[in-house]
């Protein structure tokens, strides 16, 4: 395959007395410095070498295929998993003056004809497309006729993570590449364990020759912490009120993100809180993206639809409202924070529901990946950074910040000690509702007088919503830390559970 520059670029490149690649990056893309690993990846592409490239978020992976696209004889096809990522790439490249097109669902036949004509006659250097759009038979015939120089799979860990579950088209990407006659292929991702790399090689490169390019996966500016929780609503409100913004909170489901966002907006009275997921219309997603990109104090509740490649450099805090599906997903999503290199935080909230979620998964690679990251979330006394790097097979590094190494990790969920102490001091006296009122200081004066003999427990959960305190009490009952008396004059009152019934989350983690 020829890898010579386009004729139109040749005079300008030859006139550069210093570095033609760097000069092209500066003049066309506004990039004044290329990292050595970027130069290596770009050189591999121009030499016609297929590769798997694993670089951490913020390391400039996109530039590694954008720059060669200006030099290769024909266009580059970039497969993108999400429309939000596609819109982000489109915006940045158009701002840089790069000729780019988009193939997605909903295009009219005339727009498709124009799009493919521009690719074939060289007016478009990069074509962004979803894998699903490429699989459409009429599109595939046109894509084959475009004779692309280079096929790029962005966020390639999706081949393994999503190809096995809800997007089987990812298992067909290798066959699509063969059908289009594209021999030069590059897979880019920020995180990939050895098993994921093996799967990418198998499905995209047919187990053929491919170079593996990696760089240290650690993001030293991220401070990692894990919090075990009894009430998700209480923890979310706490983060919305006090975390450094901009803040992104990730949820497993669309409904979870949307319901939590509406509830938090009511609770804190803050209109700078919105939600984002793939179920929104294209116009709604674009509106939220524009708002958040230009917002320096916003809060976004989102699914993984926001988590891949969308480049807002100044996100200061990323919270996960539950354990994500894999360590790759967790590092991808926490990698949204601090892309400007400044200090930022990644907080993982873990509850009993996360363990229940694991129990409901079908045996297979998906469950194994989830159980690996769940084990990280339940671990105690182990450096968070080192534990994450070990899960992806990376070597040891000096920790630049985590709750364990800083000595501020807490094994018990917030509120557990206060609730248990209250029940221990006053067994068989108060119902769940009464205990929640006393602990959260929401009981009125009459109730306080009626409960005068337990004033020592009044307000120990001050600042908690009464409903959150009730939820925390229910959670401790389910976990067996406390119980509700079932008979006698103290029926329906709270008691400390017998030792055999106390499978506390943090105690199990230690074992």
pLDDT at 308: 61
pLDDT at 158: 84
Residue 296 contacts residue 314 (beta carbons within 8 Å)? yes
pLDDT at 451: 58
Question: Which class is domain 222-391?
Answer: alpha beta
In the structure encoding, which two tokens stand for residue 52, read together?
A: 């798997």
For residues 274-278, give the mean pLDDT.
Answer: 92
Domain residue ranges in the chain: 7-214, 222-391, 416-510
7-214 and 416-510 in the same fold: no
Q: Evaluate if residue 494 carries a pLDDT over 80.
A: yes
Report CA torsion sign: 83, 85, 87, 90.
negative
Task: Give the model confidence (pLDDT) of 157-182 as tens digits.
Answer: 888 777 566 688 888 999 999 999 99
Q: Evaluate if residue 63 carries a pLDDT over 70.
A: yes
**How far apart are the C-alpha atoms of 403 and 383, rounded to whole Å?**
8
Average pLDDT score over the chain: 87
Q: Evaluate if residue 427 carries a pLDDT over 60.
A: yes
Residue 472 contacts residue 400 (beta carbons within 8 Å)? no
Task: Give the model confidence (pLDDT) of 374-399 as tens digits.
Answer: 999 999 899 999 999 999 888 888 99
Q: Evaluate if residue 194 carries a pLDDT over 70.
A: yes
pLDDT at 250: 97
Position 493 confidence tier, pLDDT thresholds 50, 70, 90: very high
pLDDT at 7: 37
**How far apart are the C-alpha atoms of 294 and 23, rounded to whole Å?**
30
**How far apart are the C-alpha atoms of 193 and 195, rounded to whole Å?**
5
Residues 6+ apart with CB under 8 A from 130: 79, 80, 81, 83, 86, 103, 104, 105
**How far apart are the C-alpha atoms of 445 and 461, rounded to whole Å?**
17
Strands 211-214 and 299-302: unpaired
Strand partners, 346: 224, 318
pLDDT at 191: 81
Cis before 246 (ω within 30):
yes
Task: Give the model confidence (pLDDT) of 228-274 as tens digits.
Answer: 999 999 999 999 999 999 999 999 999 999 999 999 999 999 888 99
Task: Give the model confidence (pLDDT) of 20-36 as tens digits.
Answer: 888 888 888 888 888 88
The secondary element (H helix, E strand) that includes residue 260 is helix 254-268
Q: Evaluate if residue 503 carries a pLDDT over 70.
A: no
Of 374, 401, 388, residue with least CA distance to 505: 374
In the structure encoding, which two tokens stand for residue 324, read together?
A: 């994500």
In the structure encoding, which two tokens stand for residue 186, read together?
A: 């590059």
pLDDT at 106: 83
User: Span 7-214: which CATH code?
Assistant: 3.40.50.300
Q: Evaluate if residue 506 carries a pLDDT over 50.
A: no
Strand partners, 273: 299
CATH T-level fold of 416-510? Arc Repressor Mutant, subunit A (1.10.10)
Residue 188 contacts residue 210 (beta carbons within 8 Å)? no
Residue 2 CA, distance from chain mean position = 38
Backbone torsions φ then ψ of 78, nearest 5 degrees: -115, 115
3-state secondary structure of 201: helix
Position 310 confidence tier, pLDDT thresholds 50, 70, 90: low
The secondary element (H helix, E strand) that includes residue 347 is strand 344-350
Q: Evaluate if residue 453 carries a pLDDT over 60.
A: no
- Please list the alpha-helical segments (H only) found in 30-82: 36-46, 61-69
In the structure encoding, which two tokens stand for residue 167, read together?
A: 């997007």
Residues 6+ apart with CB under 8 A from 269: none
pLDDT at 477: 94
Of 44, 99, 102, residue with least CA distance to 74: 99
Q: How far is CA 225 from CA 220, 373, 410, 440, in A?
A: 14, 14, 10, 26
Q: Evaluate if residue 15 carries a pLDDT over 50.
A: no
Min mean pLDDT across 40-49, 248-257, 355-364, 440-449 is at: 440-449
DSSP secondary-structure letter at 500? G
Q: Evaluate if residue 301 carries a pLDDT over 80.
A: yes
pLDDT at 150: 97
pLDDT at 13: 41
Position 446 confidence tier, pLDDT thresholds 50, 70, 90: low
Q: Evaluate if residue 188 carries a pLDDT over 50.
A: yes
Task: Give the model confidence (pLDDT) of 470-486 as tens digits.
Answer: 999 999 999 889 999 98
Stated length of the chain: 511
Query: Phi-psi category of 364—alpha, beta or left, where left has phi over 0 and alpha has psi -120 to 50?
Result: left
């Amino acid at each position: 395959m020829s890898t010579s520059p386009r004729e139109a670029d040749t005079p300008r490149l030859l006139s550069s007395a210093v570095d033609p690649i760097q000069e092209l990056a500066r003049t066309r893309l506004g990039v004044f410095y290329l990292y050595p690993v970027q130069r290596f990846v770009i050189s591999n592409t121009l030499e016609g070498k297929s590769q798997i490239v694993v670089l951490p978020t913020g390391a400039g992976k996109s530039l590694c295929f954008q720059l060669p696209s200006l030099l290769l004889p024909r266009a580059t096809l970039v497969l993108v998993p999400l429309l939000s990522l596609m819109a982000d790439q489109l915006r940045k490249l158009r701002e840089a003056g790069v000729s780019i097109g988009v193939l997605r669902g909903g295009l009219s036949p005339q727009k498709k004809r124009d799009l493919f004509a521009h690719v074939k006659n060289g007016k478009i250097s990069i074509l962004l497309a979803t894998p699903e759009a490429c699989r459409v038979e009429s599109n595939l015939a046109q894509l084959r006729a475009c004779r692309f120089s280079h096929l790029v799979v962005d966020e390639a860990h999706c081949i393994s993570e999503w190809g096995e579950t809800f997007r089987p088209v990812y298992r067909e990407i290798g066959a699509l590449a063969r059908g289009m006659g594209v021999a030069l292929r590059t897979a880019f991702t920020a995180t990939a364990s050895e098993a994921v790399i093996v799967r990418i090689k198998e499905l995209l490169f047919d187990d053929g020759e491919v170079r593996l390019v990696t760089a240290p996966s650690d993001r030293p500016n991220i401070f990692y912490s894990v919090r075990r929780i009894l009430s998700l609503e209480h923890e979310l409100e706490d983060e919305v009120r006090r975390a450094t913004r901009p803040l992104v909170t990730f949820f497993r489901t669309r409904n979870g993100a949307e319901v939590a966002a509406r509830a938090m907006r009511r609770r804190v009275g803050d209109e700078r809180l919105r939600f984002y997921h793939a179920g929104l219309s294209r116009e709604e997603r674009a509106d939220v993206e524009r708002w958040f990109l230009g917002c320096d104090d916003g809060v976004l509740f989102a699914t993984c639809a926001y988590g891949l490649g969308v480049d807002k450099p100044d996100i200061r805090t990323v919270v996960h409202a539950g354990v994500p599906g894999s360590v790759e997903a967790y590092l991808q999503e926490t990698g949204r924070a601090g892309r400007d290199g400044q200090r930022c935080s990644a907080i993982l909230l873990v509850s009993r529901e996360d363990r229940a979620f694991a129990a409901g998964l079908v045996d297979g690679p998906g469950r194994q990946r989830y159980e690996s990251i769940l084990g990280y979330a339940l671990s105690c006394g182990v450096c968070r950074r080192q534990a994450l790097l070990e899960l992806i097979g990376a070597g040891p590094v000096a920790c630049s910040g985590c709750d364990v190494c800083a000595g501020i990790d807490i094994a018990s969920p917030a509120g557990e000690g206060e609730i248990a102490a209250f029940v221990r001091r006053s067994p068989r006296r108060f119902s769940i509702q009464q205990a929640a009122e006393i602990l959260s200081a929401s009981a009125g004066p009459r109730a306080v007088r009626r409960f005068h003999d337990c004033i020592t427990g009044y307000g120990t959960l001050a600042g908690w919503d009464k409903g959150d305190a009730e939820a925390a009490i229910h959670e401790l009952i389910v976990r067996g830390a406390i119980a509700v008396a079932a008979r006698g004059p103290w029926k329906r009152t709270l008691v400390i559970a017998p030792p055999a019934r106390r499978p506390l989350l943090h105690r199990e983690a230690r074992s």
